[in-house]
Amino acid sequence: MKTHREIFPGIHWIQECGPNRQGIADAVVATGAEWCPAGVALHVPQNAYLLTGERTLLFDTLSPAAGEIVLAGLESVLGDRPLDFVAISHTDVPHAANVSRILRRYPACQLVAPAAGETHPLYHLADATLVGPGDEIDLGGLRVTFPEATFLDAALHTWMTEETTRSLFTVDWLGFPHMEGECLQCVDELPGEIDVSRLEAFHSRVMFWFQYVDVDTVRRATDALARRYAGYSLLPSHGLPIREDPERYYELMNEVVANVAASGRTGVL
């Protein structure tokens, strides 16, 4: 099964579909959600993104179970080219698990990590290049920046943008499950739209701390993101890339937060 593809010039998506999440599927079917028919396998993916300008950068590294997937994707796209940078959004297993394997395969590669947080030595990041707001890496033809992660699940955390294609890498925010047959498809290639219930199926289990937030404050933060990144594609770590009509997803996320704040956590992955 193919596990990587180019979604913009110079941006290659490497996907780990993960196992069938039958418990989540059963819970979603019980709500009557039309997007998830009974008996269909449901996946919550892990995504890594390989950027290839004159220099190359991998953003996130997938889970330990997908070490061969990410290495095969790198080798397929890069061929004899080096990997110049591997950047991690944060140290959770689905994002940073394969850093050591990748650095062994590409020993000249430079590790890039978030400057935010105070636990870098704990995660062997003391020698990494630390980045945050105001920092950028010019890849030659592509240019990445590292804005503050507005919605995060660890203090040591960053988002990323690619400014040539105008893409925002939102990490855990904007995650959602997909069904069998939708693997490695972008949202604009699906037969239907992503709705609030599909986004809520992820966020009410992973970013369940939304149940404790002030909804109006979060709405203001989300609306500020929508203004700042108007027209940027949205590339999450646990969903499918959103290349068209990104503006509607900010409003959908406002509804998700309101629902989770009202109803609380719905389960676990």
Contacts of 195 (CB under 8 A, 6+ apart): 33, 35, 252
Does the pLDDT value for residue 160 go beyond 90? yes
Does the pLDDT value for residue 126 go beyond 90? no
Residue 119: the pLDDT is 86
Does the pLDDT value for residue 269 go beyond 90? no
Size (the chain), residues: 269
Residue 225: the pLDDT is 98
**Beta bridge partner(s), residue 178:** 43
| Average pLDDT for the chain | 96
The token pair that represents 197 in the structure block: 């219930």
The residue extents of the domains of the chain are 4-263
Query: Structure pTM?
Result: 0.97
Residue 69: the pLDDT is 98
- Cα-Cα-Cα-Cα dihedral sign, residues 111, 101, 162, 199: negative
131 near 85, Cβ under 8 Å?
Answer: no
Supply the angle between the helices 196-206 and 247-263 in degrees, to the nearest 10.
50
Q: What percent of the chain has pLDDT over 90?
A: 93
Find the helix or strand (DSSP H, E) in which 48 lies: strand 46-52
pLDDT digits (tens, 9 = 90+) for 167-197: 999 999 999 999 999 999 999 999 999 999 9
DSSP codes joined into one string, 52-100? ESSSEEEE----GGGHHHHHHHHHHHHTTSPP-EEE-SBSSHHHHTTHH
Residue 15: the pLDDT is 98
CATH code for the part of the protein at 4-263: 3.60.15.10
158 three-state secondary structure: coil
Contacts of 166 (CB under 8 A, 6+ apart): 231, 232, 233
Residue 32: the pLDDT is 92
Least-confidence region, from 60-64, 123-127, 133-137, 214-218: 123-127
Q: Report which of residues 117 and 15 the model is more confident about.
A: 15
